[in-house]
Amino acid sequence: MQELDQRLSREEFTSKAEMARALGYSRARITQLLNLLSLSDQIRDRVRALGDYWMTPFVTERKLRSLLSLGQQEQIYKIETFENSLKVSE
């Protein structure tokens, strides 16, 4: 995701639509991915710390997108809920 943001920032692409065409995604998909970058650094760090070793994704992109409409404290509460449910399932 950060790579997409960097490529857009470097003006490698003049728009999300151009980026979508070049990468073979829809403009909506590019927007979804770039929107995830607006999550706080703390949330993104915590999600990364969960790792990527599950048979099925523990924190899905859909769950992360649901955080976008929340304030930072609410985002933290939700990610803590995700983390706690992981500990229970271990």
User: Where is pLDDT greater, at 66 or 55?
Assistant: 66
Region 32-45 average pLDDT:
88
pTM: 0.67
Cβ burial, residue 39 (10 Å; 0-12/13-18/19+): buried
Give one DSSP letter per residue of 44-76, joined into a string: HHHHHHT-S--SS-SS-HHHHHHHTTS-HHHHH
CB 40 within 8 A of CB 72: yes
Q: Write down the mean pLDDT value for the chain.
A: 82
pLDDT of residue 55: 62
What would you report as the CA-atom Rg of the chain, rounded to the nearest whole angstrom?
15
Model confidence pLDDT, tens digit, residues 7-21: 777 878 888 899 899
